[in-house]
Amino acid sequence: MFAKTILLSALAATGLVQASPLKDLNEKRTCGTVALPNGLFQLSQADPNNSPPNTAPGGTVTISQDSKIELVRFAPLDATAYGCQLQITMPSVPDFSTSGGAPTLSVFKVKQPVSGSPTYANTQLESGLYGSITLQAGQSATINTEGCRGGTGQGLAYVFKYVDWNTAASSVTWKQGTSAAAPVGVFLTHNC
Instruction: Output the CA–CA distances (angstroms, integers) from residue 85 to 17, 33, 110, 147, in the order listed.
Output: 32, 10, 15, 9
Question: DSSP letters along 33-48, please?
Answer: EEE--SEEEEEETTST
CA atoms within 13 A on the CB side of 128: 1
**What pLDDT does residue 148 have?**
86
Residue 14 covered by a domain:
no
Residue 130 covered by a domain:
yes
Contact yes or no for 155/75 (Cβ under 8 A):
yes
Q: How many domains does the chain have?
A: 1
Q: If you average pLDDT over every residue of the chain, what do you get?
A: 86
Question: pLDDT at residue 15 above 70?
Answer: no
CATH number at residue 32: 2.60.120
Nearest to 71 by CA among 111, 35, 34, 104: 111
Kindly state the percentage of the chain with pLDDT values over 90: 67
Q: Which residue has the higher pLDDT, 31 or 138?
A: 138
Instruction: Reply yes or no: is the peptide bond before residue 94 cis, omega within 30 of 0.
Output: yes
Q: Which residue has the higher pLDDT, 173 or 31?
A: 173
Which domain range does residue 67 map to?
25-190
Question: pLDDT at residue 19 above 50?
Answer: no
User: What is the identity of the amino acid at 75?
Assistant: A
pLDDT digits (tens, 9 = 90+) for 40-63: 999 999 999 999 999 998 899 999
d(CA 101, CA 122): 29
Q: Name the pTM for this structure.
A: 0.82
Nearest to 97 by CA among 69, 44, 136, 58: 136
Residue 7 covered by a domain:
no
- 16-30, 87-101, 127-141: range with lowest mean pLDDT: 16-30
Residue 148 covered by a domain:
yes
**What pLDDT does residue 7 have?**
45
Partner residues linked to 110 by β-bridges:
125
d(CA 144, CA 111): 17
**What pLDDT does residue 184 have?**
96
Question: pLDDT at residue 152 above 90?
Answer: no
